[in-house]
Amino acid sequence: MKLIKKEKQNTIQSDTCGILLEAINRKDFPFGVVLSEDLKSTEAHYHKKAKKCYWMLEGWVDVVVENVKTGERKTIRLNEGDLVTFEPYEKHNVIKGSKKNKMVTITSPAWHIEDVVKD
């Protein structure tokens, strides 16, 4: 068992991602968990190895998803309670969101910069 108290979590203010509460994101752990609040937009990127999940807790966001291997692209709206998963090489970014929103991001394995590819 591993208990991570709130005061041990890292809070980050991001211009594009809003408030990020990083609960778990370590190389020695099999997944990463981040809580985002008030997302407006994020930078388009994909992962070479990691799988990722967005789970909307409150509000909504619009997400662009593009398979970099096939070029297939679509925009989806995630509403409260919706969940979407991304496979490696699926580029994704939030393009807009409701005034108030809250989303959990789960990444497996945990998020690390060397796995991220930006345009």
pLDDT in tens, 29-40: 778 888 888 888
Considering the domain boundaries, does residue 48 fall inside one?
yes
Considering the domain boundaries, does residue 96 fall inside one?
yes
Sign of the dihedral through C-alpha 41, 118, 77, 60: negative
Considering the domain boundaries, does residue 17 fall inside one?
yes
Q: In what order do the strands lie in the sheet with 10-14?
A: 10-14, 18-24, 32-37, 102-108, 51-58, 83-86
Domain that holds residue 32: 9-110
Domain count across the chain: 1
Considering the domain boundaries, does residue 67 fall inside one?
yes
What the block records as the tokens of 102 is 């809250």
Q: Write the pLDDT tens digit of every residue in 47-106.
A: 999 999 999 999 999 999 999 999 999 999 999 999 999 999 999 999 999 999 999 999
| CATH number of the structural domain spanning residue 88 | 2.60.120.10
Residue 87 neighbours by CB under 8 Å, 6+ apart: 51
* Residue 118 pLDDT: 87
Considering the domain boundaries, does residue 1 fall inside one?
no
